[in-house]
Amino acid sequence: MERGKPAVKKRSAGELRLHKDISELNLRKTCKMSFPNGKDDLMNFEVTVSPDEGYYKGGKFTFMFVISPIYPHEAPKVKCKTKVYHPNIDLEGNVCLNILREDWKPVLNINTVIYGLYHLFTEPNHEDPLNSDAAAVLRDNPKLFESNVRKAMYGGYVGNTQFSRCV
């Protein structure tokens, strides 16, 4: 450290890449990013998805992103903080999105993940479920699925599970 100059914190390769990803973000107007720990902590942030079409239209769903120091060689860890009735998101907030698991490649970026999350709300997939009950209802009775989604989004019960209002 030179005299009179503050020490500069060395950024990991993951932080540098994430900074680039964030600076190049092209978010839909239905998605917002925030940094609950302040802009000094780029490696932990939230994204709120507010679908403007589909079953989940009008809802607000917040996801917590935790980025590894070896990003992009490791996919971001993403959890849904909003309890949601969804075939691809379980009640603990785990998200089933192939690019967060086996299909992750270092050429992908945060923008790709956010678009993938948005897509889960516009086209939920009953073929790769984390919530198999919701997936079965979507597959077998889309009208009941739509009714269950509405109930859940307005803070009601679906089965024995109560959801928090997110509209």
Q: Between 33 and 10, whose confidence is greater? A: 33
96 carries an active-site annotation: yes
CATH number of 147's domain: 3.10.110.10
In-domain check, residue 106: yes
pTM: 0.92
| Cβ atoms of 67 and 76 closer than 8 Å | yes
Please, what sign has the CA dihedral across residues 15, 17, 18, 19?
positive
What is the number of structural domains in the chain?
Answer: 1
**pLDDT of res. 63:** 98
Question: Residue 45: pLDDT band by 50, 70, 90 thresholds?
Answer: very high
pLDDT digits (tens, 9 = 90+) for 80-94: 999 999 999 999 999
| Cβ atoms of 97 and 75 closer than 8 Å | no
In-domain check, residue 83: yes
Spatial distance between the Cα atoms of 51 and 57, rounded to a whole number of angstroms: 5
pLDDT exceeds 50 at position 1: no
**pLDDT of res. 23:** 92
In-domain check, residue 141: yes
Q: Cis before residue 72, ω within 30 degrees of 0?
A: yes
In-domain check, residue 116: yes
In-domain check, residue 6: no
- Annotated active-site residue in 31, 80, 96, 166: 96
pLDDT digits (tens, 9 = 90+) for 55-66: 999 999 999 999
Q: What's the mean pLDDT when you consider all of the chain?
A: 93
Cα angle, residue 66 at apex, residues 84 and 68 outer, rounded to 5°: 145
pLDDT digits (tens, 9 = 90+) for 124-155: 999 989 999 999 999 999 999 999 999 999 99
Residue 98 exposed, middle or buried by CB count within 10 Å (0-12, 13-18, 19+): exposed
In-domain check, residue 82: yes
Q: Residue 53 to residues 30, 48, 122, 125: CA-CA distances in angstroms?
A: 10, 15, 6, 16
% of the chain with per-residue pLDDT over 90: 89
